[in-house]
Structure formats: C-alpha cells, structure tokens
Amino acid sequence: MPLTSGLKGQRVLVTAASRGIGFAAARAFVEEGARVVLNGSNQTRLDAAVKDLRSLGDVQGVVADLTQHSELDRLVADTRTLLGGIDTLVYNTGSPAPGTFMEQSFETWQAAANLLTVSPAYLAQRVADLMLTSHTRGRMVFSASIAIREPIPTIATSNVCRIAIAGLVRTLARELGPNGIRVNGVLPGYIATERVDHVFEDAARRRGTTSDQVRSALTREIPLGRIGSPEELARAFIFLGSDMSSYVTGALLPVDGGFLRSVG
Ligand SMILES: NC(=O)c1ccc[n+]([C@@H]2O[C@H](COP(=O)([O-])OP(=O)(O)OC[C@H]3O[C@@H](n4cnc5c(N)ncnc54)[C@H](OP(=O)(O)O)[C@@H]3O)[C@@H](O)[C@H]2O)c1
C-alpha cells in the first residue's frame, strides 16, 4: 500500500504560523490537502501569510496572542467555528528573550514560563476538551527545541522553561491515549529562519566575532554539515500530525541533522 498522509480534508490548527517554522508547517499541511487555520499575534503578518498560501488550498487566519489565556480560548472557539473541529494541533510559539542565565530578571523568567510552559499546557487542555467532546481521535504535535536535551548557553530561559514540553507530551500521551488522541513533540535543531539569524548575531556580539563565523563553527558541529530548512522540519510535523504515525505517541523527535550527542 502506498504511504500517504491521509490529511486531505483534515482540520488543522498551526499556531505561531505567520513566519519561519510555523509557516512552513502550515504550508506543508495545506499541500497535503488539509484545511488549515494559521495563527499569529500580528494581523498584518498573518494576513500576508494567509495570502501566500491561499492559492494552494483551504487556509484561514486567526489572530491571537498565545501568551493571553482569553485569546487562547478565542483561538480554539474561532477555529471550531471556521473548521467545525480540530483533528491536528501543531503547537509552535514565539521566542523568549535571549541571554545567559544570570542576565535574566524575574519578569523575564515569568514571561518565558508563560510563553513556553503555561500557554502550551492551557491550549492543549482547550483542544483536548474539544477533541474529547467531539469524539475526535486527534493528534497534537508540540514544537520545542534541542535545548531541552543540550542547553544552549545564550538562551537560558528556553533551556529551563521548554523542558515542560517533554512533561506535557508524556503526560497527555498517557491521559489521552485511551481516547485515541496521540500527542508527540518535535525538537528542532538549527533551522534557517529569521530567529536563528538573530541567535547567531547575538552570539557573535558576545564573542566579538561575526555571525558568519558563528554559523560556520556551529555547522562544523552538525554531522550533516548544514543548518536545516523549515521545509525539512515540516515533514516531521506531517508525520506526527497524521495517521502515518498511528502507533507513535509520547515521542520527542529531534530534527537536527544529528547535532544532539546524548543517547536517549
Ligand atoms: N529556528 C530555529 O533554529 C529554532 C530551533 C529551535 C527552536 N526554535 C523555536 O521555534 C519557534 C519558532 O521559531 P522560528 O525560528 O520559526 O521563529 P520566527 O521566524 O521568529 O517566527 C515566530 C512566529 O511566532 C509568531 N509569534 C510570536 N509571538 C507570538 C505570540 N505571542 N502569539 C502568537 N504568535 C506569535 C510570529 O508571528 P507574529 O509576529 O505575527 O506574532 C511568527 O509567526 C520559536 O519558539 C523558536 O524559539 C527555533
């Protein structure tokens, strides 16, 4: 039997999808024939993203700030109105402020915890409610970072707060598995987006070097010898967000060109 995603007509919500990783994920689902709602916090950028994808299929946008719980409620309610339900949630988000551990203020820690821990848990609960009440055997895919396995020195808040995604994925996989809802995570390595350019620029400033030199040094640490593309990462979202992964739940899949060295 040929391997197909079976995503045609499936209802998919992709958060933080107006640029970068989220946009590539949304595009991949549209290309598979899914009906997709994209989210972002900025109306103009979201409108541009929706316009870019419209010729490819069924795409709509819902503006909501993922850090505000009332907006998460509205995001799920609006998606339900637009699509009639959710078969797949792809949770991507914005980035916390860069900096080392000792540079962070209490307010920065709180903001990062809200963005990277509280917000995905709250949205997962709302989407699970919807899937359970509509008897949908759905899937959730949470994007985190390789930083949860090997901390990155200049993104301390991400190292600390994103680990919660691993707990969220494992907890939900156990709790929702009996209802046929699968929950998995993706750990992106270095992926070519605006965000990663800023990370390299920040590292270059700290080391008194150039961002090209930072990029070259880092690339030497990646066994496949290059930064990944958002499109390569998007294939992992398609796999985990469709029935291609029908017997996979509670997994965290690194997509990093082999960067992580640890076993397990
Ligand atoms: N690129 C990498 O190598 C890499 C590796 C590991 C992890 N990550 C993480 O993966 C995530 C996406 O990274 P990226 O490189 O694609 O970043 P990006 O290019 O900066 O895109 C971020 C996206 O998040 C949206 N966003 C930001 N804050 C939001 C909010 N409060 N509510 C709703 N949407 C929001 C942005 O849209 P608006 O501007 O419209 O809000 C944009 O669509 C980030 O959390 C990043 O830290 C990235």
Which pLDDT score is estimated for 110?
A: 97
For 60-105, what is each residue's pLDDT tens digit? 999 999 999 999 999 999 999 999 999 999 999 999 988 999 999 9
Distance CA 256, CA 194 (A): 17
In the structure, which protein residues have their CB atom closer than 6 angstroms to any atom of ligand 1? 16-22, 39-42, 45-46, 65-67, 92-95, 143, 145, 188, 190-191, 193-196
Give the position, in ligand 1's atom list, of the atom nearest the Cα of 144: 7
Q: Which of 44, 93, 146, 260 to mutate to test the pocket of ligand 1 (most atoms within 8 A of CB)?
A: 93
Q: For the residues 34-41, what does the mean pLDDT come to?
A: 98
| Residues 157-162: contacts with CB under 8 Å, at least 24 apart | 157/96, 157/97, 157/99, 157/104, 157/108, 157/109, 157/112, 157/116, 158/95, 158/96, 158/112, 158/116, 160/101, 160/109, 160/112, 161/96, 161/109, 161/112, 161/113, 161/115, 161/116, 161/117, 162/116
Interval 246-260 mean pLDDT = 98
- What is the per-residue pLDDT for 258? 98
Specify burial of residue 37 (Cβ count, 10 A radius: 0-12, 13-18, 19+).
buried
- What is the average per-residue pLDDT within 111-131? 98
Give ranges for CATH 3.40.50.720 in the chain: 11-190+229-252
Span 192-208, mean pLDDT?
92
Q: What is the mean pLDDT of residues 175-193?
A: 98
User: What Cα–Cα distance (Å) separates residue 20 from each residue in 38, 175, 206, 251?
Assistant: 12, 31, 25, 23
One-letter amino acid identity for 119?
S
Task: Specify the fold of 11-190+229-252.
Answer: Rossmann fold (3.40.50)
Cα–Cα distance measured from residue 48 to residue 104, given in angstroms and rounded to the nearest whole number: 34
Residue 222 has pLDDT above 90, yes or no: yes
Which of 45, 68, 95 should be mutated for ligand 1, with most atoms under 8 A from CB?
A: 95
150 half-sphere exposure, CB direction, 13 A CA radius: 13
Give the model's confidence band at 263: pLDDT under 50 very low, under 70 low, under 90 confident, else very high.
confident
Least confident of 9-18, 195-204, 221-230: 195-204
pLDDT of residue 261: 93
Report how far ligand 1's centroid is from the alpha carbon of 67 (Å). 13
List CB contacts of 6: < 8 A, sequence separation 6 or more.
Answer: 242, 243, 244
What per-residue confidence (pLDDT) applies to 1? Answer: 60
Name the residue type at position 91: Y
The rounded distance, in Å, linking the Cα atoms of 72 and 18 is 17
* Span 169-188, average pLDDT: 98
**In 3-state terms, the chain is what percent helix, strand and coil (to 5)?**
50, 15, 35
Whole-angstrom CA distances from 150 to 167, 180, 256 are 16, 32, 12
- Which protein residue has the closest C-alpha to ligand 1 atom 41? 41
Distance from residue 17's CA to the centre of ligand 1 (Å): 8
Structure tokens at 170: 């494992």
State the average pLDDT over residues 111-135.
Answer: 98
Confidence at residue 262, expressed as pLDDT on a 0 to 100 scale: 87
236-264 average pLDDT score: 96
- Residue 2's pLDDT is 65
Give residue 3's pLDDT: 81
What is the mean pLDDT of the segment spanning 177-192?
98
Q: What residue owns the CA closest to ligand 1's atom 19?
A: 20
14-18, 97-101, 185-189: range with lowest mean pLDDT: 97-101
Strand (E) or helix (H) holding 233: helix 230-240
Q: What is the mean pLDDT of the chain?
A: 96
Query: 128 by DSSP, 3-state: which?
Result: helix
